[in-house]
Amino acid sequence: MKMTEIQKMYLRARGRWSRNLGKEEEKKKAKAFDEIRDSERAGEFGTDKLTTSYCAATPGQTNEARGEDSKGHYRGTEKGAGMTKAGVAATNRKTGGNLKTAVTGNPKPGSKDANRRKSFCARMGGMKGPMKDEKGRPTRKAMSLKRWKC
């Protein structure tokens, strides 16, 4: 198996490839590359420092309930598909951001909350993607639009 330039760049960036390798070593490195790539695609992160630091910023999602995560930062799809209060607080702490939770009540017309809802509905409503998955269940997009009362 001959390594492509992209594979070489990928391994060079992680310090796992040099130009002076023999054919056997090159085959080993190519195999290692494929294993790393496949494990990253499958979500088995943590193979090296670069990947670990990338994944630390990405919340791990499990299949407990569709879309829910283990830390309770994301609401399950059936419950409205959005960030929880704890998730918003954690993200704001981590990034120094100013995220807010969904506008689910009935704000006065023209208020800040009403304008946030209007803006969210315009943005999210125009997103590509189906409103139902292959099993006929509503997607996260559909449920978040419903939760925001769009």
Phi, psi of 138 (to 5 degrees): -65, 140
- Alpha-carbon span 23 to 45, nearest angstrom: 28
The 3-state secondary structure of 77-133, one letter per residue: HHHCCCECHHHHHHHHHHHCCCCCCCCCCCCCCCCHHHHHHHHHHHHHHCCCCCCEC
Q: Identify the pLDDT of residue 110.
A: 92
Query: What are the pLDDT tens digits along the chain (150 aa)?
Result: 566 777 777 777 766 655 555 677 777 777 877 777 777 666 655 444 444 434 444 444 444 566 666 677 777 777 777 788 888 898 888 888 888 888 888 899 999 999 999 999 999 999 898 989 898 988 888 988 888 988
Q: Nearest 5°: phi and psi at 104?
A: -110, -10
Domain ranges of the chain: 5-56, 77-147
pTM: 0.50
